[in-house]
Structure 1
Amino acid sequence: MTAGKLIIGSLKHYWKGHVGLLFGAFLASAILSGSLVVGDSVRASLRKAADQRLGKVQTGLLGGDRWFTEALATSQGAAPVILMQGSVSAANGGVRANAVQVLGVNDAFWKLSPSGKTVAIEPNGLVVNEALGRKLGVKAGDTVLVRMELPSVISRDAPLSGSTNQEVTMRRKISAVVGGEDFGSFQLAASQTGSDTVYVPLADMQAELEKTGRINAILAGSSGLTPEATEKAKSLEDFSLKLTKVQGSSSEWELGTDRVFMDEVLSKKLLEKQPLSYGVITYLINGFSSANGRTPYSMVTGLPKTVLESKFKLRRTWLAPLRPF
């Protein structure tokens, strides 16, 4: 018996097993190939979604409730942006979208989009993305109402903080509805659901929020916003600090903040660099009480004992700790 006849005889005898093995190998190869194709498709879809979400943005600086100067962005060739949350409704009030991303942008922002196309916004106008347009059933030329809460350094729940519902309302006409290639999918946080977005001219939004010359986000492409350049371009205003001469004093200066408190990490560094400097804190208390009566809601300033003794000639016995009410 030759080798060829042996092989043919073996195939005839075990043909069922060979067919099963061949079918199993084919099925495994099909499953593996399909998985690879699906994986590549998913990666391509995620990459496309990320490209449309971020465009050409490579670096960014977010302030949250902290507001930088617009010059900090423009001095580095970056895009100054205001990021806020609000609600948008159609002019007839029939449909309303909440948790809408409201952006204050200029031409530098649009240059970072995937297409790099500048979207023109008419005077007293705004732009919406396709997702929000579909939800509200609006198009270019329609009018919408945008509502936002005024930013504040004091919680609206705090006593004497003013109205708890200080809203800004903008009634504007839609200049355009933008898709994903024109930054219609812009979103800094990764999300599978996307976001509803409104784009307002930066100067108009600054005026509405009473934040002229201020922004709370900076976006840049590959050529801008390095830590070194940002460190060099920063100013006291970017830290919400202001340096003024103390009235009635020939030698003292005051470095204050428009926030409620100066950050501890910042105040420690400032006090360390100026050995003769001292910290001052002013805050609202429930009230003063004495044998003659009680005064509610007063402002109290705290100073180091050495400063009180030297500047106000107070005796040590008078500097007893305050008792809580």
Structure 2
Amino acid sequence: MSSWQYILASLRHYHRVHLAVAAGVAVATAVITGALLVGDSMRGSLRGLAFKSLGRIDAVLLAEHPFREAMVDEWQAAPTLKERGTKAVPLMLTQGSAVFRSDAGDVRRAAQLQVIGAPPEFWSLALKRGAAPVERGNEIALASSVAEELGVKVGDAILLRLPAASRIPADSTLGEKEETAASRRFTVAAILDPDDDATFTRFSLRPSQQAPRNAFVPLETMQDLLELDGKANAVALSANELGPDGALPRPIIAEKREDGLLPEVSDYGLKVERIKLGENNQHAYLRISADRLVLPPHVVEVVDDLYANSGVQPVVTYLANRIAAGEKSIPYSTIVGVDSTAELGPLLDDAGKPIKLADDEVALNDWAANELG
């Protein structure tokens, strides 16, 4: 019997086993092929959503603290970006809510809105170039889903509420307790179709299959509403030419202003002052403070490294609701936590040496001591 005869005899004898194996292979092949097709389709869908969300934007710089809008112009004028035709657009991003009262007196609200303060050139970063739906004044453009939720049409007036830009948390003793939101009436200038690539309706920095709840207002108007004139908290970057690794041109943070982005101290919310001492101002020291409640830890570390040999004196200032001694008390007093030094004081003995206070001791000025008896 030849080899072919053995093979044919085996196929006839074990035909059920061979059919089962063939069926299993066919099913497995179909499942794998289907998974690859579905995965490729999903990848394409997510890629399309990403393009709709970002348009021509290649990168976005976000900051915890509002910075100078002029810094963006300085950055864009730097050769690092200018030679590659990179466009930098300042933005103001925040969360907000809107209220609409109809002629019949019905009130409808839309919360958790992403409010974008954008200049006219922002709209050129969309997939398709189109006219800016809002350019100046108290105009607002709403995503169609938000407009439907509010029940508004073009020309209606809505009340937009944004969290006030507070430098100190509202729950702090020093924080603002009443005005925690900024509000203004806006006229609906446009209702944006999420399927129109020229409207940038789907602009979002968070990947999601759901259309973002966007509301667009002019950047200058938003700055005025939040009392942050000439400020921004984000920069959208679009580069005609990227680096070999697909990244934006480097360096982004530069040592020289003409090389790239070089923020000033105020862009970090910091203030450096030279304080003079003595009758003839023969002594002076630097005071570094923040426009928020405390200095960020990384700033403290940098100051310690820079001035380690000059003497650094950390200071914490807070507000006490009440200081009491027996039946007498003083309301709303400023409390300062500080370790005195011979160079800066503030507590020195007659010999000019710093006075060290124990953990349960406090030093009062003459007025406070007299008031408390």
TM-score by length of 2: 0.73
Which residue number in structure 2 is paired with residue 121 of structure 1? 134
Deviation at 1:40, TM superposition (A): 1.5
* Stretch deviating more after TM superposition (308-317 or 249-258): 308-317
Return the letter of the residue paired with 1:111: S
Which residue number in structure 2 is paired with residue 256 of structure 1? 289
Return the letter of the residue paired with 1:228: P
CA distance in 2 between partners of 1:301 and 1:60 (Å) = 40
**Residues 105-116 of structure 1 mapped to structure 2, 5 A cutoff:** 105-116=118-129
Q: Secondary structure at the match of 2:35?
A: helix
Q: Does 2:329 correspond to 1:294? A: yes
Which residue number in structure 1 is paired with residue 73 of structure 2? 74
Which residue number in structure 2 is paired with residue 87 of structure 1? 97
Deviation at 1:27, TM superposition (A): 5.0
CA separation of 1:300 and 1:226: change in aligned 2, threshold 3 A: farther
CA separation of 1:155 and 1:17: change in aligned 2, threshold 3 A: same
Q: Does 2:312 correspond to 1:278? A: yes
Report how many aligned residue pairs link the two structures. 324
* Stretch deviating more after TM superposition (16-25 or 222-231): 16-25
The answer on whether the counterparts of 1:236 and 1:242 sit within 8 Å (CA) in structure 2 is yes
Deviation at 1:296, TM superposition (A): 2.8
The answer on whether the counterparts of 1:141 and 1:173 sit within 8 Å (CA) in structure 2 is yes
CA distance in 1 between partners of 2:36 and 2:215 (Å) = 39
Deviation at 1:263, TM superposition (A): 1.6
Deviation at 1:85, TM superposition (A): 0.8
The answer for unaligned runs of 5 or more in structure 1 is none
Which residue number in structure 2 is paired with residue 320 of structure 1? 357
Q: Does 2:226 correspond to 1:209? A: yes
User: Cα RMSD (Å) of the superposition?
Assistant: 3.5
Q: Secondary structure at the match of 1:104?
A: strand
Hey, which of these two has a bigger chunk of helix by percent?
A: 1
Q: Secondary structure at the match of 2:202?
A: coil
The answer for unaligned runs of 5 or more in structure 2 is 77-87, 243-247, 256-261, 363-373
Return the letter of the residue paired with 1:49: L
CA separation of 1:42 and 1:120: change in aligned 2, threshold 3 A: same
Q: Secondary structure at the match of 1:305?
A: coil
CA separation of 1:130 and 1:230: change in aligned 2, threshold 3 A: farther
Q: Secondary structure at the match of 1:74?
A: helix
Return the letter of the residue paired with 1:276: S
**Per-residue deviation, residues 260-292 of structure 1 (Å, max 9, x unmatched):** 111222123224323325333322234434478
CA distance in 2 between partners of 1:317 and 1:72 (Å) = 43
Deviation at 1:323, TM superposition (A): 2.3
CA separation of 1:6 and 1:217: change in aligned 2, threshold 3 A: same
Deviation at 1:195, TM superposition (A): 2.0
Return the letter of the residue paired with 2:214: T
**Residues 220-259 of structure 1 mapped to structure 2, 5 A cutoff:** 220-222=237-239, 228-232=251-255, 233-246=262-275, 249-250=281-282, 251-259=284-292
Identity of aligned residues (%): 27
* Stretch deviating more after TM superposition (204-213 or 34-43): 34-43
* Stretch deviating more after TM superposition (122-131 or 288-297): 288-297
The answer on whether the counterparts of 2:170 and 2:180 sit within 8 Å (CA) in structure 1 is no
Q: Does 2:221 correspond to 1:184? A: no
Q: Secondary structure at the match of 1:89?
A: strand
Which residue number in structure 1 is paired with residue 82 of structure 2? none
**Residues 129-144 of structure 1 mapped to structure 2, 5 A cutoff:** 129-144=143-158
Q: Does 2:135 correspond to 1:100? A: no
CA separation of 1:2 and 1:276: change in aligned 2, threshold 3 A: closer
Return the letter of the residue paired with 2:72: A
Return the letter of the residue paired with 1:76: W
**Per-residue deviation, residues 229-277 of structure 1 (Å, max 9, x unmatched):** 3344210111112233325545334332211111222123224323325
The answer on whether the counterparts of 1:150 and 1:166 sit within 8 Å (CA) in structure 2 is yes
Deviation at 1:151, TM superposition (A): 1.7
* Stretch deviating more after TM superposition (38-47 or 155-164): 155-164
